[in-house]
Amino acid sequence: MINQSIGGTLFIDEAYTLVKAGDNSGSDFGKEAIDTLLKRMEDDRGKFIVIAAGYTEDMEKFLESNVGLKSRFTKFILFEDYTPDELVSIAVNIFKSKDLVMAAETMVKLKIYFNERYRQRDKTFSNARMVRNIAEAAMKRHLLRLVEIPTENITDEISKTITHEDIIELAPIVSKKHVRVEGDQALLEQHLKELESLTGLGEVKKATEKLISSLKIAKMREERGLKVIKKNLHVVFMGNPGTGKTTVARLLSKVYKELGLLEKGHLVEVDRSSLVAGYQGQTAQKTEDVIKKALGGTLFIDEAYTLSRGSNDFGQEAIDTLLKRMEDYSDQLVVIVAGYPNEMRNFLDSNPGLQSRFTNFFMFEDYTPDEMINITKVLAEKSGYKLDETAVDHLQGVFQEIYENRDGNFGNARTVRNVLYKAIGNQEERILTLSNLSDEDLVKITVEDVQNLEI
């Protein structure tokens, strides 16, 4: 690229992306590009010009990341955002280039719209690009509008005038009528029984019961015309892996549906990779797309604390988008964030907006040895196996030892599942040596199968 620029100018847009935020290891290939660029700027001084461009704050950090950059780039041009008047002028010129004009009333309304966008602008404010997109869409709508007008009624003025009808951003906002969706009482009881039947999770069941009781009372007050304090439905799940967080999230979303609080009651399960993109501005759109899929149901964000890695991380963009949409879609969306207890506390402490929106906390405790035995029996039965008493007695000791020596890698139900699968593997190897296998031989897991599991 540099060789092609000799005798001219090399323009590097979003130059700050060459510096990987928080990475001082030198493993990012962007650093190699910077080193090559600096050397050629010195070796071929006077033979080509380099212009580096990007967001103001990010470019300042980009220059501070390398002493060589500061010494090579000594001229700075600040491109300020276009004012509302300038944005209107850009729109006028775009239409003029297509032999079109804006109606006076339309211009006034467009100025008001741009004024509001200007007040609310952030890093994603796209200035002339925004105007161009609005103008191009308006010209398409203008043509479609003309098609619906009888030919004899189309005057030269009508054919060349952009009205507020053509600019979708100026269309009046039609508020969606809120329809109260009634739930199914039988299904509600079924979901609650299913929740109650889950092994362990004593604290979670208490917290769920308290929340649902509160929601039932609120619904009763509303039906009787009494004032109702709006309940916060968003929840924080804190616990180690394998403690049933996803299962409970799915059931809770169904419960909300049958209480008439959510229309669909489906669960959209995501993690950081589903929300965060690799480039500036892409994360917001990626998060928006996920949120739209979750509308009418519940968005479950596992390991949510990974979104908070400092101000320079794109995860912050996902958090900002999420917080805004939680407010905008307060009647259409429930968000559940989950992760390790300490990490989730730090995550919530990192942003006041998170603290105010998440006020319900469910603590998922590790399964006890007795609960792990119960889970083993349930999983075995679902898979078509049965543990005899000798196997159960031995596994009691195995799970006791695992529980007492558990650390951050303790997988709870996942550990139980791994133990069972190894036992099944041992059973298959054992019965292969037997002849005239009975159905009981094929189903039964004995103490011999649960020994030497190498967990």
Q: Is 142 helix (H, G, I), strand (E, B) or coil?
A: helix
pLDDT above 90 as % of the chain? 60
pLDDT tier for residue 415 given thresholds of 50, 70 and 90? very high
Among candidate residues 378, 340, 361, 387, the one with its CA nearest the CA of residue 243: 340
User: In angstroms, rounded to a whole number, what is the distance separating the alpha carbons of residues 142 and 99?
Assistant: 13
pLDDT above 70 as % of the chain? 95
User: In angstroms, rounded to a whole number, what is the distance separating the alpha carbons of residues 387 and 447?
Assistant: 9
E strand or H helix at 270, and its extent?
Answer: strand 267-270
pLDDT tier for residue 169 given thresholds of 50, 70 and 90? confident
Average pLDDT over residues 429-439: 89
- Spatial neighbors of 314 by CB under 8 A, at least 6 apart, are 276, 277, 278, 279, 280, 282, 283
Alpha-carbon torsion angle 53, 55, 57, 59, nearest 10: -20
User: In angstroms, rounded to a whole number, what is the distance separating the alpha carbons of residues 307 and 238?
Assistant: 16
Query: pLDDT by residue (tens digit) across 373-389?
Result: 999 999 999 999 999 99
Rounded to the nearest integer, the mean pLDDT of the chain is: 89
Query: pLDDT by residue (tens digit) across 211-241?
Result: 889 988 988 898 898 998 888 899 999 999 9
Average pLDDT over residues 347-363: 90
User: Angle at the Cα of 85 (from 79 to 87), degrees rounded to 5?
Assistant: 60
Q: Which two tokens stand for residue 383?
A: 């898979």
Q: What are the backbone angles phi and psi of residue 28, rounded to the nearest 5°?
A: -85, 135
Question: Which pLDDT belongs to residue 12?
Answer: 92
User: In angstroms, rounded to a whole number, what is the distance separating the alpha carbons of residues 455 and 342?
Assistant: 27
User: In angstroms, rounded to a whole number, what is the distance separating the alpha carbons of residues 19 and 340?
Assistant: 31
Q: Which two tokens stand for residue 239?
A: 């616990």
Q: Which two tokens stand for residue 329?
A: 């879609």
Query: pLDDT by residue (tens digit) across 70-82?
Result: 888 989 999 899 9
Residue type, 350: S
Domains annotated for the chain, with CATH where assigned, are 2-72 (no CATH), 84-170 (1.10.8.60), 185-364 (3.40.50.300), 369-450 (1.10.8.60)
Question: Which pLDDT belongs to residue 424?
Answer: 95
pTM: 0.60
**Rg of the chain in Å (alpha carbons):** 31
Question: Which pLDDT belongs to residue 125?
Answer: 84
Q: Can you tell me which residue has the tokens 């207890």?
A: 341
Q: Can you tell me which residue has the tokens 């006076």?
A: 104
Q: Which two tokens stand for residue 320?
A: 């900002």
Query: pLDDT by residue (tens digit) across 262-321?
Result: 888 899 999 999 999 877 678 888 999 999 999 999 999 999 999 987 666 788 889 989
DSSP 349-390: HT-HHHHHH--EEEEEPPPPHHHHHHHHHHHHHHTT-EE-HH
Check pLDDT > 90 for residue 176: no
